[in-house]
Structure 1
Amino acid sequence: MRSSASQRLGRARWMGLGLAAVLGSGLAIWSGGGAPSESERAPVRTPVPSASSAQVETASASRPAQAPLRIVRITATPHDVPVGGRVVLGCEVEGGSGEASARRYTWVAARGRLEQENGPTVTWVAPKSPGLHQVGVLVQDGDSQVKQTLMLHVHVPTPEDLRALMKDSDWKQAGEQALAQQAAVEAKLAALREVVARRETREDRLRAYHALGDLAALQLGEGRYEEALQSYEELLGSHLETDPKRKPFLAGKASALFALGREDEALRVYAQAGDHNLPMSHYYAGLLLEARGQLPEAIEAYGKAAEANRWFADPLLRYAELLLRQGRPAREVIDLLVTASPRFGRELLLERLATDPQFASLNQALGASGRASELEERRPIETRLPEPPRPPEPGRTAVITRE
């Protein structure tokens, strides 16, 4: 891979794509009628107590059926913003009780910051990480609820973006918030370094070991790759080569090496870390292996990346493209796209295939198969909260494990 590509990897922030822990998967395409008319919302007279049962049944039958609650669309202005940019999100809803005041809106975002979480219109501030990021909304009206998500693209700011951001009336406030967040990160880094440096007693050394792991992860997340690399190397030095506890630290080291553009070292450490690698490490390894002509190894890496990055389509598309080049039947490869389409959406997949020349063979195979219409839109999202921990059985002591 060219050095410029390595530099791009070095500048990329690690993405945590998806809202699976909060909202589940897919976009919602809901069916149902529109909002009830004024005549339909008119109250039905309640029969007087002396009315016959037939009159009561007639009055009940005359009540209009309530239209199903549905999200008509989620709007985003704009869809593509630089890091730190703002997106105005809107949710248009029909059906339900028909009373706007009865609807409750709850917005969530995998990354970035929502300036408010309630209401039909909110503002999302893009994170520092370029890439695809997901936002979602849950709308409740009485006992009815519907959910939908939207993918937004965040790019590295151009000089024009920076000039526009500087003119933003909220730029000063956003800058102050960014400085406050950075100050909090610096304070946490300093506190961890202080614990790591104190190693006088056995308890101090044990605390220092755990603090060094937290420090390395924070350094990696904040893009301090050289510092993270040093921390992971120190952690690895405290374990024997055969110790399985080394695997997560090898994964962190591989991530730092990928970001620094040290390709050969990164691939070597990536192989040692195995399945403990971070999701994006599998994708970057696939890119490097493909560039070196190691297609079977690249296919394996892309397959792991596609499974780990549930909201990132490129690993799956590269995986499918390489399978075609390796002679796998087109029918099997198209089956992969059709099966995965509810995660990404029909429009996104068709756009990526039609506009990226690297997927020309895959796009041609899809067109020749006549199965483009089988690609699905994103499926409705579901609220999936983690199960609460079970209390220990009588007579047993609860054990808290450190992950």
Structure 2
Amino acid sequence: MTSADSQRPGRARWVVMGLGLAAVLGGGFAVWRGAGEPPVLEHAPAGASTSRAGGVPAPASRPAGAPLRIVRFTASPHDVPVGGRVALGCEVEGGSGEASARRFTWVAARGRLEQENGPTAAWVAPKTPGLYQVGVLVQEGDVQVKQTLMLHVHVPTPEDLAALMKEGDWKQAREQTLAERQAAEAKLAALGEVVAKRETREDRLRAYYALADLAALQLDEGRYEEALRSYEELLGSHLETDPKRKPFLAGKASALFALGREDEALRVYAQAGEENLSMSHYYAGLLLEARGQLPEALEAYRRAAEANRWFADPLLRQAQLMLRLGRPAQEVVELLVTASPRFGRELLLERLATDVQFAAVNQALTASGRTAELEERRPIETRLPEPPKPPEPGRTAVITPEP
């Protein structure tokens, strides 16, 4: 996105998120096998061979008793339409070497997990486009290892719908989607009833809290006009100086960004400050940069990079803008080196080398001679369950993923 028009959140909000997908896959590096094929996340130990086609490092065989480790975390496909299905797989080595001794716990920040059969599972995407995290926890005795990755969910295209029609489970998937929509509609209606009843003081108090839940649900469901009205009503119940207004201002800003009402969105965004959602910071940065307000855009990118540790674009745009503002190249390089454990050395280098909009950043990094200082990605263990407590004598332990 090089023009101001292409940076409009209302027109390209999911394209923006898709740009960062190559830089947010977790756990080692992403091996892109070819057109239409899924990414495979692998750890390449020192000295690993590269006998596979395309020079992809093959994990070296390890004897039983070696440390337990996840060598491959696969997702097929990695980019699906809303309601689409992704097959997940996890390959483990080390430990005792006995598959029966390992426990697999699958976790999803959103969407629905199905067919959790040990090292494999299926993930059904939610109905809202975006980037979503899935993870797996593998345990053997007192030892546990974790891994996560991000999956991209997009608005269905005609081709997606045609492909879904050919699938044997289309009817089941359609019924499930309808059931989820009906559940959301029922929740919206129930909250709406509570909001509408304001006869007594207790009713009005309940209505206030229900309205806050209703606004958040409307925003999550993509009902941006309705969410905007709800947030405006909530804001009307607080004085201008009340700090409790800021979360509602943040919700209002998100709705305005989604509706493409740029001037209003930026004004409300500034009022919400740090309470804004990470993507609101990013959208604000795009708009401010397009309008030539570079210092303000730089601050917005910084906040977005700190708030969303999975999305690399805010960091890279922050680095690019620092160079435009005449900041020292060594400062920019230090920013990349410090942040590299979040995204991974290989993925950052690939992104910088192939994306022309970050050519100046790539040139600064190459000229610095510090490329080797970029680190491989360190797992970011978020939204993953705590290890289960040992079962009491005579009882069976049951591991249940978090909702």
TM-score class, shorter-chain normalisation, is: 0.7 to 0.9
Could you tell me whether the CA contact under 8 Å between 1:232 and 1:253 is conserved in 2?
yes
TM-score by length of 1: 0.80
Q: Bigger CA drift: 145-154 or 177-186? A: 145-154
Cα deviations by residue, 1:127-171 (Å, 9 ceiling, x for unpaired)? 333343322211112232222222333333332222112212122
- Counterpart position of 2:73: 74
Could you tell me whether the CA contact under 8 Å between 2:27 and 2:377 is conserved in 1?
yes
Report the Cα offset of residue 338 of structure 1.
1.3
Q: 1:12 to 1:173 in 2, by over 3 A?
A: farther
Report the Cα offset of residue 348 of structure 1.
2.5
Distance 2:125 2:223 in 1: 20
Report the Cα offset of residue 291 of structure 1.
0.6
Report the Cα offset of residue 107 of structure 1.
1.5
Q: Bigger CA drift: 242-251 or 144-153? A: 144-153
Residue 366 (str. 1) matches residue 365 (str. 2): yes
Amino acid at match of 1:273: A
Structure whose alpha-carbon radius of gyration is higher = 1
Q: Percent identity?
A: 79
- Counterpart position of 1:2: 5
Q: 1:360 to 1:259 in 2, by over 3 A?
A: same
Distance 1:317 1:358 in 2: 10
- Counterpart position of 1:331: 330
- Counterpart position of 1:54: none
Could you tell me whether the CA contact under 8 Å between 1:289 and 1:298 is conserved in 2?
yes
- Counterpart position of 1:224: 223
* Equivalent residues in 2 for 1:28-43, closer than 5 Å: 29=43, 34-36=61-63
Could you tell me whether the CA contact under 8 Å between 2:67 and 2:95 is conserved in 1?
yes
- Counterpart position of 1:94: 93
Residue 267 (str. 1) matches residue 270 (str. 2): no
Report the Cα offset of residue 31 of structure 1.
5.7
Distance 1:146 1:109 in 2: 16
Could you tell me whether the CA contact under 8 Å between 2:9 and 2:283 is conserved in 1?
no
Residue 115 of structure 1 aligns to a residue whose secondary structure is: strand
Distance 1:78 1:378 in 2: 22
* Equivalent residues in 2 for 1:157-176, closer than 5 Å: 157-176=156-175
Distance 1:193 1:379 in 2: 44
Q: 1:193 to 1:129 in 2, by over 3 A?
A: closer
Residue 116 of structure 1 aligns to a residue whose secondary structure is: strand
Q: 1:385 to 1:142 in 2, by over 3 A?
A: closer
- Counterpart position of 1:238: 237
Distance 1:132 1:348 in 2: 17
Report the Cα offset of residue 205 of structure 1.
1.0
Report the Cα offset of residue 11 of structure 1.
7.1
Distance 1:369 1:251 in 2: 39
Q: 1:287 to 1:354 in 2, by over 3 A?
A: same
- Counterpart position of 2:188: 189
TM-score by length of 2: 0.80
User: Which runs of 5 or more residues in structure 1 are unaligned?
Assistant: 19-24, 38-65, 387-403
RMSD between superposed Cα atoms in Å: 2.7
Residue 249 (str. 1) matches residue 248 (str. 2): yes
- Counterpart position of 1:347: 346
Residue 293 (str. 1) matches residue 292 (str. 2): yes
Distance 2:129 2:108 in 1: 15
Cα deviations by residue, 1:27-50 (Å, 9 ceiling, x for unpaired)? 26486974547xxxxxxxxxxxxx
Distance 1:184 1:14 in 2: 28
Q: Bigger CA drift: 284-293 or 270-279? A: 270-279
Distance 2:264 2:8 in 1: 16
- Counterpart position of 1:138: 137
Cα deviations by residue, 1:233-266 (Å, 9 ceiling, x for unpaired)? 1111122222222211111111110000000010
User: Which runs of 5 or more residues in structure 2 are unaligned?
Assistant: 29-42, 47-59, 387-403
Distance 1:14 1:357 in 2: 17
Distance 2:368 2:128 in 1: 37
Residue 97 of structure 2 aligns to a residue whose secondary structure is: coil
Report the Cα offset of residue 381 of structure 1.
4.6
Distance 2:113 2:237 in 1: 41
Amino acid at match of 1:27: G
Cα deviations by residue, 1:268-307 (Å, 9 ceiling, x for unpaired)? 1111111111221111111110110100000001111111
Q: 1:382 to 1:199 in 2, by over 3 A?
A: closer
Distance 2:167 2:374 in 1: 40
Could you tell me whether the CA contact under 8 Å between 1:13 and 1:221 is conserved in 2?
no
Report the Cα offset of residue 26 of structure 1.
5.5
